[in-house]
Amino acid sequence: MATRRLATHSSVGARTLVDALRKRGWTKHRLTKELDLPEGLASRWAAGKAVPGLTYALLLEEVLDIPIAAWADTRRMRAVRRRRARLAKAMGKKE
């Protein structure tokens, strides 16, 4: 059996999801079946390529104990915060 190298996860939510699945001995396929997810969605979350919407985030919190806040720390959110800080600085305001 070939071993796969784990992807670098780009969010706290993605890392937490992978850890939670490991602890329970679940696969992304099982998560997909348990939560009736569209095919490939759990893989995109685990790779940090997508984040769940509120409904799915609530389900993940209930089923896997992943705090909703874990999904807020994404690359996109950090970029938005940096842009907001630069804009505030340019306007002479403090955040």
CA angle 13, 27, 40 (to 5 degrees): 70
Q: For residues 89 and 38, give the distance between their C-alpha atoms in angstroms, rounded to a whole number.
A: 42
Is the pLDDT at 1 greater than 70? The verdict is: no
pLDDT tens per residue across span 61-76: 999 999 998 988 666 6
pTM for the predicted model, two decimal places: 0.69
